[in-house]
Structures are given as structure tokens and as C-alpha cells.
Amino acid sequence: MSRIASVLLPMPLPEAFDYAEPDGMDLKVGDQVAAPLGPRMIRGVVTGLREAAGGNRPLKPVDAKLDDAPLPPGTLEFVQWAARYAADVPGAALAIALRGARVPRPKPERVVEATGEAPARPTAARAKVLETLADAQMPPAELARAAGVSSGVIKGLVDEGVLAVLLVEAGAQFDAPDLGLPGHRLNASQDAAAKALVAMVGEGGFNVALLDGVTGSGKTEVYLEAAHAALAADPQAQVLILLPEIALTQAVIGRVAARFGAAPGEWHSDIAPPLRRQVWDGVASGDCRIVVGARSALFLPFNKLALIVVDEEHDSSYKQEEGFIYQARDLAVARGKIENAAVVLASATPSLESLRNAETGRYRWLRLTSRHGTAQLPDITLIDLRETPPDKGRWLSPPLVEAMTETLAAGEQTLLFLNRRGYAPLVLCKSCGERLTSPDTDSWLVEHRYSGRLVCHLTGFSMMKPEACPHCGAKDSLVSIGPGVERVEEEARALFPEARVAVFSSDTVWDAKEARRLVASMEEGEIDILVATQAAAKGHNFPKLTLVGVVDADLGLRGGDLRAAERTYQLLAQATGRAGRRDRPGRALLQTYAPDHAVMQALKAQDRDAFTETELNERELAGLPPFGRLAAVIVSGPDPAALETFARGMAEAAPNTEGVKIYGPADAPLGLIRGRRRKRFLVQAGRGVDLSAYMAAWRARVRPPGAIRVAIDVDPYSFL
């Protein structure tokens, strides 16, 4: 009797669809198949097989079993678990897991090899070709270059049968890690933490450890020892190292390659599609044993995942805010449990959720309290801008300028930190007061002087800066309000014309290659003053950097984000931690209008424990994470009246469950994006409530009209 295959498609569909299994296809769970959906053929994954029992309707057959690696059981289970946790459809998570598989494989490469036949007409050029080729295979053009001959020489040898032309599958070669290479010399604190992680990995099974070490304490070398233990314990074991920023991958890849004598697989948005496919295939086959990547690397088809490392685990970049919404740190722990693997969360400023889990014993807590070698933590000074403001039209205060002067005179480097891209965050008309915003969006347009354009960082819209106000028509009336990194760079160049100044932001460092170049220039002392956003505030080690100046320390404290204080502390602790990481003492100056704020006082005293204790107490009183749970619902649509009606109907449809509070609907702070009006709900629940199930049940009760969209965000990080 023929079987029925349940096939999950990477589309926003609520469940897997049933198809008939053609005779002789012999499908298995996890196989990738081509299945008909309407007039199209869609790549899908078999999630179940059952015997047909005389169904009452004919099923369309699976069209073909694809020549691609099946999804391993752990990956398939993880995809389905992630969808349930996010209260989303499983096809949305599957689309991420198949992202690499849907890229066409590179075309076969044309190479030549020696057949063993001697040339009928020996010449010096022909002898050089055969000597260069030896027993290898090489593309004809590459062989000609290496031998220093023309392509005609190669063609002649092929025509005579001395060389044979072959087509070989192009693919990345993932060298096996060399487990015999020695690791770095560790200090006593690092050695104790490394031994604890190695023992945890050796125990086997699912375990989570929080590697909590101050900036510069050498956490990377510690978790690489755990990676070594995992790889040595099983010749098929695989290791995943997650990083929050593309800019950080290059440094970590270099350290992994040095430790294991082989470059790891690289997975993030900046890698070319052919390489993406090669890494996906290498992970599925087990040839790629170490992967360094961004959050979506969690969805790769690992067969024998033994260790997951989440570096800078506190970083908000691990939160995916669009499409399939998820928090990679939480999903990493879930995948570790599914795969029966060890998980290491590493940070100098751990999230309150991870700290709470460590305090209560759910995670092992390993602390590195001092910097590696002779380096010391930097001295931190608060500059009260109410008492010593910058000169008119300037953004750097006299104490900071004086410190920069001293640093330059000593031949050392300065980092000016401002987490704001562009030249100015707001452009307004001094005649009519109009604030320039993106069309059909409430987001302000940010001025970028490098390109002469006004850019919306939310939607990507950009336009040339107009000569006249678009609202009132007044000419030369548009003024730039506030500083961005480009404006701070302009001021630094004016103050120190002899200094070598550079900017590190996503506008100036647009790919991994450029990030590598800029980081290398900073490490080699070719830059005197680096003006940077958070892209340079974490993970980098600049030997001559001794001064960090935070231009606007209060920036992250504005707004209604429940994590504002926590994020500000984390970001500024990471930024100031770039100073004095070698044998030169470092210092950090924080410009602030609120020097008495708890965050500023904790940073000055370098007393993280006092800050986290206060913050945790406040969260506990309010029932907020990590003591409670939150979810957000964002409904949007082009018609304000229809949106209001739907949002009120959705509020009435909410399940009445003990321990759950619903706030809203209310207008979102950014009430208009891309022509769509937005309303928000905030759901608060106790730790004992299955919030994902509650949100899924609520979503199932409503049927939004075609123009209305509903997005659910479990554990929201953005409240806009």
C-alpha cells in the first residue's frame, strides 16, 4: 500500500501538507523533495510518513526526491520547536534552515591532470608544465600562469593526450582541525575556567555554562579549549560559535584558525551565495566541523553538534526583529538541549536573564575577574556636561579634548564612541519647524554628509538633501540637529589636523573585507583617532588604544525600553573596556548630563554587581523578565479605521487566562511605517505560564483581513 508523506514547505502556511509517495521513491523523514503547490513546484522537507488507509480524496504525488542532504532529525526538531516557541508557523523557521540549500551549487570546474603519456615533441615549456602539475589537478588557466607558459602550450598537451580534461564538482575544502596544536598559555583564572568547561564537555549531554569575564580577560581562549575537548572526544563532533556582529567574525576566525590549524566555515549575510551553499553542504556532510557565524547559523543542518558557544551573549543583535522573530541566545540553549550538546554563553556584561539562571544554579557560573597578563581595567571618569559643556557648535567637552591632546602626544590611540550613524540624526527647517521624515513613515531622516543624502535607517529610503524646505519652500533653511559619528569625525579633524582620523560604522565598513582592513589599520597603529558606533565597541583588541571618550553616555537611557539601563550599562562597559588592553594603562571619559544616574555611578565605580542587584530587584517587583515573561503583538494596516476595528476585536478575542495581563491596543511609538499604521499590545505573564501556547491560541482566534498583518514577538526587545 502506498504511503502518505507530510511535507513542510518554507512558506507562511500553518502546517505540513499531505502528498502521495510515488512507487519506488522510498522517502524518509528529513528528505528534501519537490512538491506541487498550485501551479508551482516548491522545495519542502518530509516531516512524517504514514500508510495510506483508503483516504476519501486523491492526493497529489511528490514530484521528486531532491539530490540534497536531508535535514538531520535534530535540525528538523529544532525548526519545529523554534516555530512553537515564537508562536509562528513552522514554514517560516524552515525557510531559514533551507536558505543555504536553495542556492544552486557552483558549476563543475574544468581541470587538467597528467595521463602519464610523454609528449611527442618535448620542449622546455612543456617540461615546465608537467613539472608544475606533477600529480595534482589544476584549472588550465591557473596551470599556464603557474608554469609561465601560454594557454597554447596547455592546449597542445591536451590535444596530444598528455593532459586529460576533467570536470570536478566545485566545493569548499574544509580541512580537518589539527588537535595536536598547543593552545595559548592561560593564567590561573583562565585555566580553572577552561578545566571546568572541558570537564562539562567531557560529561557529555546537555549542560549550560555562563563564562562571565571582564573585558580583556581572555574568554575566547577559554572557550576554544572547550571546543578542542569537544572535537577531540568524537571524530564526527561539530562546534558552532555564534557572534553578534559581522565585524567580529574576522578576528575570531583568525583565532580559531590559529588554534586548530584550519579555517572554520563562515556563515553570515555577507558571504557570497556559492560559499553559503558550500558551507551548508559541508555542515550537512560533517566535513565542516567548526562554524563561526551570525544568529541564523543556529539553523544549519548539523549532524553531530557537540558544543554551541554564544559569544557576547548579552548583545541585542541576537534578536531577529523581522520575518521570523526569535532570540538566538534562547534558541541556542534550546538547540543544545535537543542535540544533547554543551552550551557556553560568554560575556563581560551578561544579560540579566543569564545572570539569574547562573545565580539560581540552572547554569554553571564561571567568572574571570581580571585581565589577561599585566593589563588593568581602565580608570573611568564622568564629565558633567552641565558644568563643563562643549564650546558652542561643538560636541567634545574641554576635559575630553585635553585628554585626547595628551594621548596623541604620547603616541597612543583614542576611540570616540557615539552609537549614532551619519552626520546628524535630525534635519529641520528653521523657518517653519518642519522635521524631515521618510515618506509614509514617522522615522526622521538622518543626514549623511559623506553621500550628501538624507537616509531613513528604518526603511532604507534615501534622497539628496534638498536646497529648500519641502514643506514651506524656504531656501537655505534646513539645519542639522545633534551629532552623529560623521559630525564628531569632522570636529576631531578640526581640533587635531595632524591626526589620522577614521570612522567605524556600518556606513563606512560595509562588508567583512573592509572591517578586516580597518581593524588591521587600528591594530598596527595607523589610526590615531577612531570615531565609532557599537561596531567597534566589543571584541576588538587594539594594543595602543588607551583613551575612550563616550560622546553621549545618556543616549541609550532615553525612551521607554524596559532594558534601557541594562543595555546602556552593557554597551558602555564594552566600549570603555577597549582601553588599556595591553601593557599601557587605559582611561575612559563619559560625557553625561546625568552623572548621578545609577548606570553612570556603577560604571564609574566599576561595580557591576551593585547595578545588577538593583536592576534585578526592580524587575522582580514589576514582574518583568527574568522574573516574568513578555510578548508583544503588532498589528498593522493601511486603513486607520479598519486597523482600529480589528485591534479592538482582537482584544476581545484574547483568551482569559489566570496570570496573564494584556495592555492595549495602543498606538505604536512609530505609528506609521511604509504607509502602514501600527497598533501594539503588550502581554505580561508569570514564569509558570506557557506564553508561547497562549499567544498561538490567541492568534488562532482571529482572522485578519487581507490588508491587516499580525506579528507576534515573544520576549520583545524593541518597543517601537
Last residue of a domain, one of 616, 641, 656: 616
Closest CA to 131 of 153, 110, 109, 160: 153
Query: Would the pLDDT of 1 be above 60?
Result: no
Q: Which CATH number characterizes residue 306's domain?
A: 3.40.50.300
Per-residue pLDDT, 375: 58
Q: Is residue 471 part of a domain?
A: no
Do 385 and 411 lie in one domain? The reply is: yes
Q: Is residue 549 part of a domain?
A: yes
Mean pLDDT (whole number) for 62-70: 94
Q: Is residue 510 part of a domain?
A: yes
Structure-block grid coordinates of residue 100: 543555504
d(Cα 317, Cα 326) in Å, to the nearest integer?
11
Report residue 248 CA to chain centroid gap.
Answer: 10
Report residue 373 CA to chain centroid gap.
Answer: 30
Mean pLDDT (whole number) for 300-326: 94
Do 270 and 197 lie in one domain? The reply is: yes
Per-range mean pLDDT, top range of 109-118, 164-173, 591-600: 591-600
d(Cα 204, Cα 231) in Å, to the nearest integer?
12
Q: For residue 245, name the pLDDT band (cuts at 50, 70, 90).
A: confident
Q: Is residue 478 part of a domain?
A: no
d(Cα 433, Cα 456) in Å, to the nearest integer?
19
Query: Would the pLDDT of 141 be above 60?
Result: yes
Do 573 and 503 lie in one domain? The reply is: yes
Do 661 and 590 lie in one domain? The reply is: no
Query: Would the pLDDT of 33 be above 70?
Result: yes
Mean pLDDT (whole number) for 194-223: 93
DSSP 8-state class, residue 138: B
- Exposure string of 197-223, with b = 16+ CB inside 10 Å and e = fewer, is bbebbeeeeebbbbbbbbbbbbbbbbb
Mind listing the pLDDT tens digit for each residue in 463-506? 999 989 998 999 989 999 999 999 999 999 999 999 999 998 87
Q: Is residue 351 part of a domain?
A: yes
Mean pLDDT (whole number) for 425-437: 92
The average confidence (pLDDT) of the chain is 91
Query: Would the pLDDT of 373 be above 60?
Result: no
Do 402 and 539 lie in one domain? The reply is: yes
Do 526 and 402 lie in one domain? The reply is: yes
Per-residue pLDDT, 251: 79
Domain that holds residue 301: 188-368
d(Cα 223, Cα 310) in Å, to the nearest integer?
10
In angstroms, what CA-CA distances link 16 with 21, 50, 92, 102, 163? 15, 13, 12, 19, 52
- Of the listed ranges 145-154, 368-377, 628-637, the least confidently predicted one is 368-377
Last residue of a domain, one of 97, 117, 150: 97
Amino acid at 180: G
Amino acid at 280: W
d(Cα 371, Cα 349) in Å, to the nearest integer?
14
Do 282 and 341 lie in one domain? The reply is: yes
d(Cα 230, Cα 305) in Å, to the nearest integer?
9
Number of domains in the chain: 5
Per-residue pLDDT, 2: 79
Do 363 and 398 lie in one domain? The reply is: no
Closest CA to 558 of 617, 599, 590, 612: 599
DSSP H or E segment with residue 172: none
Amino acid at 56: N
Residue 568 burial (CB count, 10 A): 22
Q: Is residue 223 part of a domain?
A: yes
Mean pLDDT (whole number) for 178-204: 93
Mean pLDDT (whole number) for 421-447: 91
Do 195 and 299 lie in one domain? The reply is: yes
d(Cα 580, Cα 588) in Å, to the nearest integer?
10
Please say whether the beta carbons of 128 and 73 come within 8 A: no
Query: Would the pLDDT of 581 be above 80?
Result: no
Do 515 and 391 lie in one domain? The reply is: yes
E-strand stretches of 505-578 = 529-532, 545-550
Mind listing the pLDDT tens digit for each residue in 6-32? 999 999 988 999 999 998 899 999 999
Query: Would the pLDDT of 270 be above 90?
Result: no
The pairing of beta strand 64-65 with beta strand 40-51:
unpaired
Q: For residue 116, name the pLDDT band (cuts at 50, 70, 90).
A: confident
Residue 209, strand partner residues: 344, 364
Residue 511 burial (CB count, 10 A): 13
Q: Is residue 645 part of a domain?
A: yes
Closest CA to 315 of 302, 332, 299: 332
Q: Which CATH number characterizes residue 645's domain?
A: 3.30.70.600
Per-residue pLDDT, 172: 61
Do 589 and 659 lie in one domain? The reply is: no
Per-residue pLDDT, 120: 87
Q: For residue 168, name the pLDDT band (cuts at 50, 70, 90).
A: confident
Per-residue pLDDT, 476: 87
Mean pLDDT (whole number) for 168-197: 88
Mean pLDDT (whole number) for 376-402: 93
Q: Is residue 582 part of a domain?
A: yes
Per-residue pLDDT, 72: 97
Mind listing the pLDDT tens digit for each residue in 623-644? 999 999 999 999 999 999 999 9
Q: What percent of the chain has pLDDT over 70?
A: 98
Mean pLDDT (whole number) for 619-625: 94
Mind listing the pLDDT tens digit for each residue in 638-689? 999 999 999 999 999 999 999 999 999 999 988 999 899 999 999 999 999 9
Mind listing the pLDDT tens digit for each residue in 515-552? 778 888 988 999 999 999 987 776 677 889 999 999 99
Please say whether the beta carbons of 243 and 311 come within 8 A: yes
Do 227 and 295 lie in one domain? The reply is: yes
Angle between helices 691-700 and 73-85 (to 10 degrees): 70
